[in-house]
Amino acid sequence: MAETLLTVENLTKKFEGNTILDGLNLTIQRGEVVVIVGPSGCGKSTFLRCINALEPIQEGTISLQGTPIVYGSKNLAEVRQKIGMVFQSYELFPHLTVLDNIMLAPMKVQKRNKDEVKEEALQLLDRIGLKDKADSFPRQLSGGQKQRVAIVRALCMHPEILLFDEVTAALDPEMVREVLDVMLDLAKQGRTMIIVTHEMQFAKAVADRVIFFDQGHIVEEAAPDEFFEHPKTERAKQFLNVFSFEKVEHNK
Amino acid sequence: MNWDFIAEYLPMYERAAILTVKLGVIGIVFAILVGLICAMIQYHKIPVARQIVAVYIELSRNTPLLVQLFFIYYGLPKLGANLSPEVCGIIGLAFLGGSYMAESFRSGLETIAPIQRESALSLGMTNRQAMQYIILPQAVSMSVPAFVANVIFLLKETSVFSAISLMDLMFTAKDLIGLYYKTIESLFLLVVFYLIILLPVSILGSLLERRMRHAGFGS
């Protein structure tokens, strides 16, 4: 029996009178890769932000390894160290070099030894092929490179779980692959990940479980093959149809 | 132009210039402190304090320094606080400059997108650490141009100090004109000494700005 890492119970999030998330329940086991798909505005990103307590919630509980995650609570900084988050817009710190971006939090937050952190950071950079960019500033990197650095920055904190919020949505098509490859590699290493994405082929390849969100509800939850080949709900079928094209018949 | 006159009264201008710079620098240092505190209060939207700061900023920016100095110089003694002209000048400059500095720091802070802070928080930083390592360093460099402009503006504003009988450059020039009718010479020295004080600040400022632009943040 795998260890339950993250438990979400009856999560309800309202904003300005609208219900964004409506009584969500979800548990995630250690080593699981869960992909969340759904139409824009269905609350996928908000869900990730709630897990990290970047958003206040109105009802329900979220806990990581039994520790409750409560917006505004004292122990938040401590819990967040165990939750790595990667944003769509990278959010590297523009005034710091790549290496300093990665080393800052392990040194200042976790008070780890500088040499040890540096060694690990360089190792991780080497692994994604960006060791030679260690002393570059973020502005000197391409979008794909920035996003890979952002992933390494999260990894260097040794998180229990990684959250990916549409991390390839802002990238040029040819850079999407390099980022997805890094994530596939992490999945192979047995990392626990929650991935919000619009890359359906990637979702199919990486996921242990696919969750389909619509209007703040979990509409469908299934293994990837089942979800993509035989979606059960009408709503999911509609959604998946958007991604397939029928051959145009030319009238000659 | 009477060069002998200029040579004779040069030391007097030197003393006045030293006083101008001394009061200017001390006043600006306090203005920076006041500005930082006000900007932080506004950035964190602290209730009540925030409203007080807003009133202070409007009051300070929409009244002339001369009027503010008169209030401090003639008004405060009536309330039992007897202050030397020097202290009054410093308080006046800090009162005026504080609001300008606050506005430049606040606009610098506001250019940093909230998601940068969230990114820092998601790495386990506390609010204080996010401010110290991520937001402030970026905000400071964003507010450099406005900051330099404020420093120059405040140094020039010190010319009003003569009105509360401080022997600054302006006072000295007016004094000499009154005593000897050497208008051209006195004004010539006045301009030269202001340039000696302000040109280096101006040049240093644009060098700093260029450096910051070169560092060109922007993710």
The candidate with the shortest Cα–Cα distance to B150, out of B72, B71, B93, is B93
**E runs forming strands in B17-99:** none
Collapsing DSSP to helix, strand or coil, A165 comes out as strand
Q: Which of A45, A74, A93 to probe by mutation at the B interface, max B CB count within 10 Å?
A: A93
The total number of residues written for chain A in this structure: 252
Q: What is the mean pLDDT of residues B74-102?
A: 92
Whether B203 shows a pLDDT value over 90: the answer reads yes
The total number of residues written for chain B in this structure: 219
Query: Which residue is closest to A140 within chain B, CA to CA?
Result: B219
Query: Which residue is closest to A48 within chain B, CA to CA?
Result: B122
Q: How far is B146 from chain A (nearest CA, A)?
A: 20
Condensed to tens digits (0 to 9), the pLDDT of residues B47-70 reads 999 999 999 999 999 999 999 999
Average per-residue pLDDT in chain B?
91
Contact B218/A153, CB-based, under 8 Å?
no
Q: Contacts of residue B119 in chain A, CB cutoff 8 Å? A: 85, 87, 91, 93
Q: Contacts of residue A138 in chain B, CB cutoff 8 Å? A: 219
Query: Which residue is closest to B217 within chain A, CA to CA?
Result: A94
Quote the pLDDT of residue A252. Answer: 59
Please name the residue that has the structure tokens 């790595």. A84
Among chain B, residues having any CB pair with chain A shorter than 8 Å are 115-116, 118-126, 129, 133-134, 137-138, 141, 215-219
Closest CB from B123, B138, B218 relative to A105: B123
Please name the residue that has the structure tokens 């391409």. A142
Quote the pLDDT of residue A45. Answer: 92
The CATH number for B7-212, chosen from 1.10.3720.10, 3.40.120.10, 3.60.110.10, 3.40.50.10070, is 1.10.3720.10
Q: How far is A178 from chain B (nearest CA, A)?
A: 19
Closest CB from A52, A93, A139 relative to B122: A52
Burial A42-53 (b: 16+ CB within 10 A, else e): bbbbbbbbbbbb
- Partners of A18 in beta bridges: A15
Q: How confident is the model at residue B210 (pLDDT cuts 50, 70, 90)?
A: confident
Dihedral-angle region of residue A73 (phi above 0 means left; psi in -120 to 50 means alpha; beta otherwise): beta
Please name the residue that has the structure tokens 């960006």. A130
Quote the pLDDT of residue A197. Answer: 93
Q: Return the minimum-mean-pLDDT range out of A5-9, A37-41, B14-18, B147-151.
A: A37-41
Quote the pLDDT of residue B216. Answer: 54
Q: Contacts of residue A52 in chain B, CB cutoff 8 Å? A: 122
The one-letter amino acid at B192 = V
Quote the pLDDT of residue A142. Answer: 94
Cβ pairs bridging A and B (under 8 Å): 71
Domains of chain B by residue range: 7-212
The Cα A183–Cα A225 span in angstroms is 19
Q: How far is A243 from chain B (nearest CA, A)?
A: 30
The Cα A208–Cα A224 span in angstroms is 7
Interface contact A242, partner B, CB < 8 A? no
- Partners of A72 in beta bridges: none
The DSSP code sequence of A1-51 is: -PPEEEEEEEEEEEETTEEEEEEEEEEEETT-EEEEE--TTSSHHHHHHHH
Quote the pLDDT of residue B219. Answer: 39
Contact B123/A80, CB-based, under 8 Å?
yes
Q: What is the mean pLDDT of residues B28-52?
A: 95
Quote the pLDDT of residue A42. Answer: 85
Spell out, as residue ranges, where chain A has pLDDT lower than 50: none
**Residue A94 exposed, middle or buried by CB count within 10 Å (0-12, 13-18, 19+):** buried
Q: What is the mean pLDDT of residues B190-215?
A: 88
Quote the pLDDT of residue A205. Answer: 92
Query: Which residue is closest to A155 within chain B, CA to CA?
Result: B123
Q: CA dist A25 to A33, A63, A217, Å?
A: 17, 12, 9
Quote the pLDDT of residue B218. Answer: 44
**Residue B21 tokens, joined:** 């710079």
Closest CB from B119, B125, B134 relative to A109: B125
Residues ≥6 apart with Cβ < 8 Å to A5: A28, A29, A30, A32, A64, A65, A160, A161, A192
Interface contact A105, partner B, CB < 8 A? yes
Residue B160 is given by DSSP the state G
Quote the pLDDT of residue A249. Answer: 72
Please name the residue that has the structure tokens 């692994």. A127
Q: How far is B175 from chain A (nearest CA, A)?
A: 51
Interface contact A74, partner B, CB < 8 A? no
Interface contact A44, partner B, CB < 8 A? no
Q: Which of A109, A146, A164 to probe by mutation at the B interface, max B CB count within 10 Å?
A: A109
